[in-house]
Amino acid sequence: MMQSRQCGIALVQVLLVTAIIMLLVMALSLTAADQVKRAQALKDRSEASLYLHSREVAMLYTLLTESLLPGQETSNPYAASWNFHGQPFVVDGLEFTLQDQSGLMRFPVSGVSDFEKLLTTLGRGPTEARDIAGRLADWMGIAQPGGSQADDAMMRGATGDPVQYFGELRFLAGMDEQLYRQLAELMTLYPTPGFNPLTAPAPLLRTRMPESTLGAIIEARRNGELDQGSLWQIARIGMDETTLPFPGPGVGVRIAGEYRGITLRRRFVVGVQPHDRQPLTSWSRDRFAGGIPK
């Protein structure tokens, strides 16, 4: 009887030890699986980062080695697909958007009349547009025609200077998030040499021509028929020292897509001047490319 009880206790102990070992094995197995999963995620992220970087380099190389003028014969898939008026295109599984900075409105330097006109075009009333434009003039230390600098002007560094950071617009009273987002797509800090109507967004063209003419311009651009000749025929806009017929040197680049389930985003502005001593300059780069400058 005693021997039978001892055998039973030994069996229970064996089962208990076996259960503990099984629990340890299961815990180690789960830990190993989690570590493998984390290692795979890190590997995928590293590969995704390298893939995004390689596609960015491919685009920059293309900008430096291919003609930026439309209608050029090329075997390069980027140059064969691109445009410089902000229409997305897909190459190597990623979506690229290029925007000629000369097609955008440069931040005011000596006057805010064009900025005020743009605000009106974006749906702001005349009084509101004039007030916001006046506040930007005060912020930059620009004296308005027919008046002097306001006594309570909130200027950069107390003396006024050109805007250095797009987010400074948020300091202007009356600048809401919707308007800020709109202006982020239409204005640039890049020192453009002139304005290029061939690559300008519709809201900027609307400040320079009636709606019927704008519709014809957009249709010609959509059909790939917009050039200097058609621009003159449709809108009677010719090229001079302030109106450019070609994109560059500033180009805004956006890259978006996925790689193995990992979201890829990159946004930057570069200066492309292949024949200069410094052929490529990095003008700005968003650390977190959320879509608008912060």
Name the strand (E) or helix (H) holding 256: strand 250-259
Q: What is the pLDDT of residue 130?
A: 92
Neighbours of 60 (CB within 10 A): 18
Which residues pair with residue 281 across a beta bridge?
Answer: 271
| Residues belonging to the chain | 294
Dihedrals φ, ψ of 153, to 5°? -65, 130
The pLDDT assigned to 196 comes to 93
Reduced to 3 states, what is the DSSP secondary structure of residue 46? helix
**According to the model, what pLDDT value does residue 3 have?**
59
Beta-strand relationship, 94-100 and 89-91: antiparallel
CB atoms within 10 A of CB 154: 13
User: Which backbone phi and psi does 98 adopt, to 5 degrees?
Assistant: -115, 135
CA distance 213 to 218: 9
The pLDDT assigned to 1 comes to 57
Query: What pLDDT is attached to residue 23?
Result: 77
Q: Considering only CA atoms, which of 207, 245, 211 is closest in space to residue 226?
A: 245
In 3D space, the residue among 281, 278, 271 whose CA is nearest the CA of residue 68 turns out to be: 271
Helix residue spans in the chain (DSSP H): 2-65, 77-81, 113-121, 126-140, 177-186, 202-206, 211-222, 228-235
User: Which regions in the chain score pLDDT beneath 50?
Assistant: 294
Query: What pTM, to 2 d.p., does this model score?
Result: 0.80
Tell me the residue type at 204: L
Cα–Cα dist 76/59, whole Å: 10
* Spatial contact of 158 and 204, defined as CB atoms under 8 Å apart: no
The C-alpha angle 273, 279, 284, rounded to 5 degrees, equals 85
Q: CB of 102 within 8 A of CB of 194?
A: yes
